Amino acid sequence: MTSGRKEAKLVARAAKGDPEAFGRLYEHYLDAIYRYLYHRVSVKEDAEDLIELVFLRAWENLAGYRPGKAGFRAWLYRIAHNALIDHYRARQEPDPLEERHAVEDARTDAEEHLEAREELDRLARAMLKLEPDHQHVLVLRFIEGFRPREVATILNQSEGAVRVMQHRALKALAGLMAVEEVTHG
């Protein structure tokens, strides 16, 4: 999608029941929303079920979408966030975060690759120890790349509350990373 105007036109057409317009929105956002869900549930089948639910809810509620309140992308992530909450309530499980990042750089030096992998593993272990709200904020801000205002919309919090949560989450993560360095370093 090249511009906000183009997206706004597609959203308006989809809200009027145009399945082709909604299909284009679906194709554009599918991978990003799936990645967000998968990072939260870590089970492919669960992420696939949730992505279907998110886009079904989006289609069913598109007439109620208000462009002035939040961007379409943030609105979709809000639906995904709510689907995750429902998913974990139904299972009565904690909301885990398992970082499964592979080092994407094509490093020739095996030692550098190993050190980077160990650092990512330490980060993943530390992230799992954070409170779920702190995990959400960090994933949305630094993995998904949302601005604080968008995170606030997704989490139904004020922008100030998101900034405070982010600060606290980063502080807690730094402490946990230090412990991980001592324990596993």
**pLDDT reported for residue 100:** 38
Task: Give the CATH number of the domain where residue 32 resides.
Answer: 1.10.1740.10
Tokens of 143: 């993995």
- Domain-ending residue, one of 96, 115, 144: 96
Judge if 91 and 119 occupy the same domain.
no
**pLDDT reported for residue 107:** 44
Q: What is the dihedral of CA 131, 134, 140, 142, to 10 degrees?
A: -110
Judge if 36 and 84 occupy the same domain.
yes
Residue type, 132: P
Task: Give the CATH number of the domain where residue 144 resides.
Answer: 1.10.10.10
**pLDDT reported for residue 26:** 92
**pLDDT reported for residue 110:** 57
Residue 149, CA distances (Å) to 140, 162, 180 in order:
11, 8, 31
**pLDDT reported for residue 114:** 60
Tokens of 36: 């967000």
Which ranges of the chain does DSSP label H, i.e. alpha helix?
4-15, 19-41, 44-61, 72-91, 110-129, 132-138, 148-155, 159-184
Q: Which residues are within 8 A (CB) of 115 and not within 5 positions of it... i.e. 6 or more apart?
A: none
- Domain-ending residue, one of 45, 62, 96: 96
**pLDDT reported for residue 103:** 38
**Is the CB of residue 144 less than 8 Å from the CB of residue 32?**
yes
Query: Residue with structure tokens 């989450």?
Result: 169
Distance in angstroms (rounded) separating the CA atoms of residues 142 and 101:
13
Judge if 105 and 41 occupy the same domain.
no
Q: Which residues are within 8 A (CB) of 153 and not within 5 positions of it... i.e. 6 or more apart?
A: 69, 70, 71, 74, 75, 78
- Domain-ending residue, one of 81, 96, 111: 96
Residues of the chain with pLDDT under 50: 2, 95-108
Question: Residue 169 is part of which domain span?
Answer: 101-185
Number of domains the chain is built from: 2
